[in-house]
């Protein structure tokens, strides 16, 4: 469960405050809003990449407001992937597991599982250069899921994809969420993504959050 | 042709784009003029000297010492320059903090100051109590490791390195800052969410991408050190077989009226610089990572 209570974030240019919403366990939360309203900022604050001024962020009852990003246990998929340019896809998938000192066999098993789930087995030896938009997103998703986080934060993961790839990615995201039992928070401005994926829909408008009950 | 006023082309008529030839002619002509100046200078040097002259210079023990010392000191100062340039460049490109503008200006001082002023400043610095203490401590340290030949810093080989480093590091720092500014910071942020601290995000994600920039910074610092003269003259002196580097050799030969010797040493410097620059550049391109 992701619980955001009365969160305030200072950003140069504007400020967000009094933001509250809850994504229940294993739900797929969608955060919508017009461009420049602070959706990404809010998502980054949940991931620990932005300082908050007030309020709390709780994951499964654990207050993580002051916890460093790497200790929050959130898988983060940024816009257009932000893959590690110098690493092979295999190394990107292994990155979080290596930091957690998983044993080699377990890492290998997890990489194979993710490669199968995301259809990126043929890319493992490659570096990100030359990958298509869809391939990048699948790798970024795999990298975020590798350490079995309970929460997945996605920042407009489908915005740079063509129509057909987007359709396939939506199916994939649904499958991934079922398979990995993650609670997701997905930022987008596309209402079709929201309809197809979301179980809970939040709108960030005029600096406040409204929950749409579908 | 009848003298009729030209009819204005209709707005819907296909547009005729003017020829690109004048543009490229002008660009290439301006570019070539500078290239020609450099090549003409080298050509004039080359005409003035001969293989015999260069051979004569090479047979001089003092010149051979000066070549070795140049290679050694330039490499040490280039390594030291990259060593300080990487953290400064990274911090300056990634973080905002109070006084950043001031620090930025301070980092440029070695670039804008006349080289002589740098030399004088170093000399004065090592006359202060702290400087003297460093001088004697360094001397003791050298004795301890068996390098009795180096008696302190001022007017010794370490002064050559320090004089080169002071200026070269400023150029390396600029290069590394631009390098890190061009590297997308987002993958490092992703690394933080995956469980990395800032140290491993830096060393595993940012630094491998900076390889080409580091090669460029090293090359620039090395070349800058080879050409350094003013600060070395003042801070390290021009003692033959002790603190004489190639730029000093040119000056010493020239000052005793041996212009042929000075030009021969200059040609040696040109050859040396070109070999090193080419090799580092080839290495840099060959190991391109992105």
Measured between CB atoms, does B208 come within 8 Å of chain A? yes
CB contact under 8 A, B194 and A72: no
Q: What is the 3-state secondary structure (H, E, C) of B72-118?
A: HHHHHHHHHHHHHHHHHHHHHHHCCCCCHHHHHHHHHHHHHCCHHHH
Across A180-191, average pLDDT: 94
Q: How far is A1 from chain B (nearest CA, A)?
A: 18
Domains of chain B (ranges plus CATH)? 75-244 (1.10.3720.10)
Q: What are the pLDDT digits (tens) for B157-199?
A: 999 999 999 999 999 999 999 999 999 999 999 999 999 999 9
CB atoms within 10 A of CB B222: 25
Across B74-100, average pLDDT: 96
- Residue B248, classed as helix, strand or coil, is helix
Sign of the dihedral defined by the CA atoms of residues B270, B272, B273, B279, in that order: positive
Residue A165, domain CATH:
3.40.50.300
Query: Using CA atoms, how far apart are residues B27 and B30, in angstroms rounded to an integer?
Result: 5
Q: Is the pLDDT of residue A156 over 70?
A: yes
Query: Using CA atoms, how far apart are residues A166 and A162, in angstroms rounded to an integer?
Result: 6
Query: Using CA atoms, how far apart are residues B270 and B273, in angstroms rounded to an integer?
Result: 5
Across B104-122, average pLDDT: 94
Q: Which of residues 220-259 of B touch A (CB under 8 A)?
A: none
Q: What is the pLDDT of residue B284?
A: 64
CB contact under 8 A, B205 and A84: yes
Cβ neighbours for B123, distance < 8 A, ≥ 6 positions apart: B154, B234, B235
**Tokens linked to B283:** 């290495």
Share the mean pLDDT of chain B: 91
Q: What are the pLDDT digits (tens) for B224-239?
A: 999 999 999 999 998 8
Q: What percent of chain B has pLDDT over 70?
A: 94
Q: What is the pLDDT of residue B286?
A: 45
Share the mean pLDDT of chain A: 93
Strand partners, A204: A209
Set of chain A residues whose Cβ sits within 8 Å of the Cβ of B185: none
- How many residues make up chain A in this entry? 214
Q: What is the pLDDT of residue A128?
A: 96
Q: What is the pLDDT of residue B24?
A: 97
Place of tokens 């994926």: A197
Number of structural domains found in chain A: 1
CB atoms within 10 A of CB B57: 26
Q: Is this prediction's pTM over 0.80?
A: yes
Q: What is the pLDDT of residue B2?
A: 54
Q: What is the pLDDT of residue B5?
A: 62
Q: What is the pLDDT of residue A205?
A: 86
Q: Is the pLDDT of residue B9 over 80?
A: no
CB A92 within 8 A of CB A85: no
Across B3-12, average pLDDT: 65
CB contact under 8 A, B192 and A82: no
Measured between CB atoms, does A75 come within 8 Å of chain B? yes
Measured between CB atoms, does A47 come within 8 Å of chain B? yes
Q: What are the pLDDT digits (tens) for A35-92?
A: 888 899 999 999 999 999 999 999 999 999 999 999 999 999 999 899 999 999 999 9
Cβ-in-10-Å burial (0-12, 13-18, 19+) of A182 comes to buried
Report the residue of B179, B194, B196, B205 to disrupt the A interface, i.e. the one with the largest count of A CBs within 10 Å.
B194
Q: What is the pLDDT of residue A11?
A: 80
Instruction: pLDDT band for B288, please (50, 70, 90 cuts).
Output: very low
Q: What are the pLDDT digits (tens) for B259-268?
A: 999 999 999 9
Q: What is the pLDDT of residue B275?
A: 87
**C-alpha distances in angstroms, B117 versus A43, B154, B232?**
52, 16, 11
Q: Is the pLDDT of residue A157 over 70?
A: yes
**Tokens linked to B67:** 């070549």
Instruction: pLDDT band for B147, please (50, 70, 90 cuts).
Output: confident
DSSP strands (E only) in chain A? 2-11, 14-23, 28-32, 54-59, 62-63, 74-77, 151-155, 183-188, 200-205, 208-212
Instruction: pLDDT band for A34, please (50, 70, 90 cuts).
Output: confident
Measured between CB atoms, does A100 come within 8 Å of chain B? yes
Q: Is the pLDDT of residue B251 over 50?
A: yes
Which of A185-199, B83-97, B141-155 has the least mean pLDDT? Answer: B141-155
Measured between CB atoms, does B189 come within 8 Å of chain A? yes
Q: What is the pLDDT of residue A214?
A: 53
**Parent domain of A163:** 2-213
């Amino acid at each position: 469960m992701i619980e955001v209570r009365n969160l305030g974030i200072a950003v140069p240019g504007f400020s967000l405050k009094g933001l509250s919403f809850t994504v229940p366990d294993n739900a797929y939360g969608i955060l919508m809003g017009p461009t420049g309203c602070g959706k990404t900022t809010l998502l980054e604050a949940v991931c620990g990449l932005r300082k908050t001024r007030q309020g709390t962020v709780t994951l499964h009852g654990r207050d993580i407001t002051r916890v460093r990003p790497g200790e929050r246990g959130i898988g983060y998929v940024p816009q257009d992937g932000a893959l590690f340019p110098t690493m092979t896809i295999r190394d990107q998938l292994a990155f979080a597991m290596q930091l957690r000192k998983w044993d080699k066999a377990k890492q290998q098993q997890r990489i194979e599982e993710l490669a199968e789930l995301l259809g990126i087995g043929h890319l493992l030896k490659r570096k990100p250069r030359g990958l298509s938009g869809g391939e990048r997103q699948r790798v970024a998703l795999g990298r975020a899921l590798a350490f079995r986080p309970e929460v997945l934060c996605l920042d407009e993961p489908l915005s740079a994809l063509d129509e057909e790839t987007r359709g396939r990615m939506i199916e994939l995201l649904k499958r991934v969420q079922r398979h990995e039992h993650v609670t997701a928070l997905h930022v987008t401005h596309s209402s079709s993504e929201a309809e197809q994926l979301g179980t809970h829909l939040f709108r960030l408008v005029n600096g406040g959050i409204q929950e749409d009950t579908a | 042709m009848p003298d009729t006023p030209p009819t204005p082309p209709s707005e819907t008529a296909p547009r005729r784009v003017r020829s690109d030839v004048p543009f490229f002619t002008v660009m290439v002509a301006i570019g070539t003029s500078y290239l020609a100046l450099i090549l003409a200078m080298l050509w004039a040097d080359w005409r003035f000297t001969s293989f015999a002259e260069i051979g004569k210079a090479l047979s001089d023990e003092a010149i051979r010492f000066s070549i070795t010392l140049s290679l050694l000191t330039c490499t040490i100062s280039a390594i030291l320059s990259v060593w300080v340039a990487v953290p400064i460049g990274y911090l300056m490109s990634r973080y905002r903090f109070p006084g950043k503008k001031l620090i930025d200006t301070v980092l440029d001082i070695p670039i804008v100051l006349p080289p002589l002023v740098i030399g004088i400043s170093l000399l004065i610095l090592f006359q202060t109590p702290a400087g003297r203490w460093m001088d004697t401590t360094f001397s003791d340290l050298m004795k301890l490791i068996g390098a009795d030949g180096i008696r302190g810093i001022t007017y010794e080989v370490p002064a050559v390195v320090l004089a080169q480093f002071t200026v070269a590091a400023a150029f390396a720092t600029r290069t590394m800052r631009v390098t890190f500014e061009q590297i997308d910071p987002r993958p490092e942020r992703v690394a933080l969410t995956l469980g990395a601290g800032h140290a491993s995000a830096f060393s595993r994600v940012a630094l491998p991408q900076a390889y080409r920039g580091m090669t460029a910074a090293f090359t620039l610092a090395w070349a800058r050190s080879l050409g350094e003269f003013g600060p070395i003259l003042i801070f390290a002196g021009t003692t033959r077989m002790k603190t004489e580097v190639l730029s000093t050799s040119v000056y010493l030969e020239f000052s005793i009226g041996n212009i042929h010797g000075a030009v021969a040493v200059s040609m040696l410097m040109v050859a040396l610089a070109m070999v090193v620059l080419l090799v580092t550049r080839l290495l840099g391109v060959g190991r391109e990572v992105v």
